[in-house]
Amino acid sequence: MNLKKFLMAGGLSMVLILGACGSGEEEASEEPATEEDSSASSGDVDAESIARDNCASCHGQDFSGGMGPALAGMSLSEDEFSEIVRNGQGQMPAFSEDQIKDEELSALYTFFSEQ
C-alpha cells in the first residue's frame, strides 16, 4: 500500500515538473506579424497561449479545474494570484520571472478573471 502511494506521488510530481518546465521557446517566424495575425489578449502578451502552455495541464483545458483548482472566473486579487504563481502553493510549483514575465503574469490574471 505504501508503495502504491509512493508511485502515485512520484507520478504526480513528474507531471507537475514536466508541466512547469515547458521550453518556453517559440519558433521564430520569418514573416513579421500583422495586426490581423495578432491574438494578444493584453497588449503584446498572448495570455491564452501562455495559459495553455503553462496552466492547462493541471487546471484543465478550459481552466475550470483539474488536478489543480479552477482558474476561470477566480476570485483572487491580482496580488494573491501573483504570490501563488511566484511562490507556489501546495502541489503547484513556483514560476520565476525567467519562466513567466511580470507583464505575462498580469495578462494571465486578466485573462482568467474575464473567463
Give the range of the structural domain holding residue 50, as residue numbers without chain letter.
2-20+45-113
Query: For residue 33, what pLDDT band results from cuts at 50, 70 and 90?
Result: very low
Task: Supply the pLDDT for residue 40.
Answer: 38
Full DSSP string of the chain: -HHHHHHHHHHHHHHHHHHHT-----PPPSSPP-TTT---SBTTB-HHHHHHHHTHHHH-TTSS-SSS---TT----HHHHHHHHHH-BTTBPP--TTTS-HHHHHHHHHHHHT-
Q: What are the tens digits of pLDDT across the range 68-82? A: 999 999 999 999 999
pTM recorded for the entire structure? 0.63
Has 21 been labeled as part of a binding site?
no
Has 1 been labeled as part of a binding site?
no
Has 59 been labeled as part of a binding site?
yes
Has 92 been labeled as part of a binding site?
yes
CATH number at residue 13: 1.10.760.10
Is 34 inside any structural domain?
A: no
Is 99 inside any structural domain?
A: yes
Is 38 inside any structural domain?
A: no
